[in-house]
Structure 1
Amino acid sequence: MLQTPTPAEPRDETRALRADIYRLLGRLLREPPDGKMLAWLASLEPEGGGELARAWQALARAAGEASPAPLARAHFRHLVGVIEGDITPYASWYRNGALMDDALVALRRDLRCLGIARADHSRDPEDHLAAELEVMALLVEAGPQDAASFYRHHLAPWADACLADLAAVDTPFYARLGALGRAFLAEESRRLAPTDGETPVRFVTPPAP
């Protein structure tokens, strides 16, 4: 989806973990999981307590009870299309009440300043929630300053509302995904305003698509 700027400083484990989670959430919002991804999610055993760990555990259970074909249909029903989808996962829709509106214009301006460009093959506008999560993954890896600013300006105003709508759908896997996204972004809100800290869940790299 996106071309990345050069990291400004070396990766550390916490930043790498956060970037992996942003990418995973973006991937699961953008496309339905295949059998390999479901098996990997079902195998997760998050460590620690708190809402975020419980959200990981709930998603792992839902993944273990799901199968790819029904989830592909559910993904289309919940997240694809303006008319067909239960949710319209675009910043402009949540912030301005219409697609391709001011939120997208501001986002494109800031992406140009950051040196991040949409891939030629991508069809989604840049303000799709999956795309903004992918941008956060790139910025978290590159360094904290741009990541914090991007988060506050482009994700914080609307992502929780979108994920809350997802958490209310009737497909357990996607409802648990919405709840996980909310729990993770709540941690990120505390982390990025204004100090950094440790994530309470140990995580490993997801399988390649």
Structure 2
Amino acid sequence: MKQRPEFPPSPDETNALRADIYRLLAGLLREAPAADMLDWLASLEADPADGDLARHWATLAAAAGTATPDALGRAYFRHLVGVIEGEVIPYASWYRNGALMDEALLTLRRDLRVLGLERSAHTRDPEDHMAALLEVMALLIDERAPDEARFFMRHLAPWASRCFADLGVVDTPFYAGLGHLGRAFIDMEHERLAAKVERDPVERDPVRLIDPDTAATAPAVTPAPFHGH
């Protein structure tokens, strides 16, 4: 992101960057950033050749440069947690079914179990929290898993852009910037991975993901961040 290489990046370099962005977005949705993270974000230099994505990186970097961990801790709670609920509710079930702990979560749990992933015991968030799904994408990219595109299209494409768009209108510049950046990245990934699903029959109909209409109810899984068995 700081400097464009003289030659186009290799597929491995591109995928490593994609995984890093998924992890960064996940981390910023998981908890408020500490001082060292704000310093790092403020130091980022976006390449104008990257278009809208670069503009959103620059906006987030500028907001990080003027924010403090204490202020963002309060803003994080107000926007994404709340006493009962935050201004934005970053769960797939909420966006897809209109209620928490609904069908989208059950379907996700079935697919995660087949993928050999379970959430850590260190978190109480259900697996359909946006941060958890972004962490899964980073893992699938790292592992060059054949299910990467299919997982995105099933579990992020239907709602993630809308969730980030909602975050983009909150009144804290840092979190609004995160919302705009997240939406731009998800939209870019949607275009990339939808094309991959269309041209790759393995991605289009993978054996390892379960059809929620025909699957039995999944057994309970251990509470996300995710790890393999």
Name the counterpart of 1:3: none
Helix, strand or coil at the partner of 1:126: coil
Alpha-carbon displacement from aligned partner over 1:52-93 (angstroms, at most 9, x marks no partner): 111101100110111110000000000014724111110000
The CA deviation at 1:28 is 0.2
Q: Does 1:15 align with 2:15?
A: yes
Report SS of the residue matched to 2:192: helix
- For the aligned residue pairs, the C-alpha RMSD in angstroms reads 1.5
Residue identity matched to 2:184: A
Is 1:119 the counterpart of 2:120 in the alignment? yes
Structure 2 equivalent of residue 64 of structure 1: 65
Q: Which amino acid aligns with 1:184?
A: F
Cα displacement string for residues 160-193 of structure 1 (whole angstroms, at most 9, x for unaligned residues): 1111110000000000000000011111111112
Greater RCO, 1 or 2 (C-alpha within 8 Å, sep 6+): 1
Counterpart of 2:33 in structure 1 is: 33
SS in 1 for 2:135: helix
For the 8 Å contact 1:38–1:63, the answer to whether it is kept is yes
- CA distance in 1 between counterparts of 2:176 and 2:163 reads 12
Match of residue 190 from structure 1: 191
Q: TM-score, normalised by structure 2?
A: 0.78
Determine the C-alpha separation between the residues in 2 that align with 1:140 and 1:173. Answer: 27
C-alpha distance in structure 1 between counterparts of 2:122 and 2:66, whole Å? 33
Larger radius of gyration: 2
Show the 5 A alignment for 1:121-160: 121-143=122-144, 145-160=146-161
1:88 alignment counterpart: 89
Rounded Cα–Cα distance in structure 1 between residues aligned with 2:29 and 2:58: 18
Contact 1:79 1:86 in 2 (8 A): yes
What SS is found at the alignment partner of 2:195? coil
Secondary structure of residue in 1 paired with 2:89: coil
Quote the Cα distance in structure 2 between the aligned partners of 1:105 and 1:142. Answer: 24
**Cα contact 1:82–1:88 (8 A) shared by 2:** no
Output the amino acid matched with 2:23.
R
Larger mean Cα displacement after TM superposition, 22-31 or 45-54: 45-54
> Could you tell me whether the CA contact under 8 Å between 1:81 and 1:88 is conserved in 2?
no
Identity of aligned residues (%): 66
Q: Which runs of 5+ in 2 are unaligned?
A: 1-10, 198-229
Give the conservation status (yes or no) of the 8 Å contact 2:149–2:196.
no
Taking the aligned partners of 2:21 and 2:78, their CA distance within structure 1 comes to 24
